[in-house]
Amino acid sequence: EKEEEEEEEGIGIGRASGAEAEATVRPWDVVLGGSWGCTLALSYAHTYPRHVRAMVLRGVCLFRPREIDWLFGDPHPSSTGIGAVKGSLRTPNLRSLLGNNGRTSSTRSIRRGEGIAQTIEQPVLTTSAQPSSLRNTASAMFTEAWQEFSKGSNFASVRSETAATSTEIRTSKNPRSVLQRYYNLILGSDPLIRFRAVKSWFKWEMGIYSSGFRGISGQGGNKSNDKEDCNNVLVWNPAAASWGYEDARVWNNRSFVSVDTNMSKVDDEIVQSLRRYSSTSSPLLEKSEVSESTAAIEPMPIQPVSMSHANSIPVLKPTNTNSSNATFDPTTYIPAQSMLTCYYSTNDDYCIGPFKPFLSLSPPSSIPLSSWYSSNVPPRIPECPSFVRSLETSPTLTSLEPLPPTIAIQGGNDAICPLDTALDLHHVWNEMELRIALESGHSMYDSVIAGEIVKALDRFGHALLSSEENDLATFK
């Protein structure tokens, strides 16, 4: 297994991994990627298809412009809060989604698909033109938190009189003016300014990370206290080509089979209603999101900033470092994750580079979608037949099976990487098994998400071991 979780060296996939990949005798058995690591895992598997036998993805992220615009894009000018965003696809809480009266006679009372169409709230589409390809942004949904986040970047100003405006830096229907202000604050050379900016950055990012869509009226409801609700997983079964529900619990500690996997089919319209910011009919990038420029892409320059005396932060000198009363010194603090997230999000085109056509789900016109987004299906439960490809006959980048069997795990309440991206990837890659933990968020430490990761790894591990024991010629 190769763990890509929170790995932050994705820019160097093509440069740093080439020699390693070519020298590898055996491929990686399973590549596990979460959030940004999901982007890395997919890029690696696409670039070196002979060296990845299976993938498990958590919190699906492709780093497309619309995904960054969702999290850091300015709110629409017409938006004044969640009630004003009529173009959004509103998702009811779990009880409404699964049907209040949808229990079966089974002792494992799992809510089924019956009656869903009568209880789900249909999306309300506005006829007025939106200034963005997104129907929602986090800034419009989490209004108060965004206002604090925006205010937290106003304590300093750019000193350069020739600094580029936001429209000059990035021409888009989704300006990122607040993100670009934080870029100068967090990536600048003044540690005191960085420290103050990072506190607001953490409050925004970790606030929606921890709460997700719970607590927003009409957008997921409050977290259910019903343990049965919390264990519901909506699953795309590629072998059956259908959606259904499972109870995420397992029979015992050695089992990787959910306690109830024989659920009634769910209509795709219900699944698509879980989207948070996009329509159900446009999973691919729009022309406005794809740059047609052939010029080399460079990172956005970091502009010097200054802060007024009234807003200055006093230097806190640490006392004896061996004492429990030592004072924190912000001048020595390096908020690495915030700096990297801010840098990558601002310079997304530069960071993604040659992987953008693949990650954008918009390959060149000469390459059909089925050429890039196809694979064998994951092993079935519980038979787990052999699926491993021979190294000698492994497909190339333009063949029909460039990707390994993959299981994707997604939180239905994930506000950092909403379900839209996972559904977009599913739209072009039906062989990928998609498992949606309806009540879970972004964290891999969520009990249901963690359990799904373990089950997926166990399934692949069982299949790989069975393949080696029963057919050693597979690897020759």
pLDDT 10s digits, 32-60: 999 999 999 999 999 888 899 999 999 99
Residues of the chain with pLDDT under 70: 1-25, 77-133, 160-174, 215-229, 251-263, 280-296, 308-326, 381-401, 468-476
pLDDT 10s digits, 366-378: 888 888 899 989 9
**What integer pLDDT is reported at residue 249 of this predicted model?**
80
Polymer length in residues for the chain: 476
Q: In angstroms, rounded to a whole number, what is the distance separating the alpha carbons of residues 212 and 260?
A: 27
Residue with tokens 């992220």: 61
Orientation angle between helical segments 191-211 and 143-151, nearest 10 degrees: 170
Q: What is the pTM of this model?
A: 0.78
pLDDT 10s digits, 208-225: 998 888 756 545 444 445
* Beta carbons within 8 Å of 191's beta carbon, 6+ residues apart: 330, 331, 332, 333
> Side chain identity at 190, as an amino acid letter?
D
pLDDT 10s digits, 250-279: 766 655 666 666 557 889 989 999 999 987
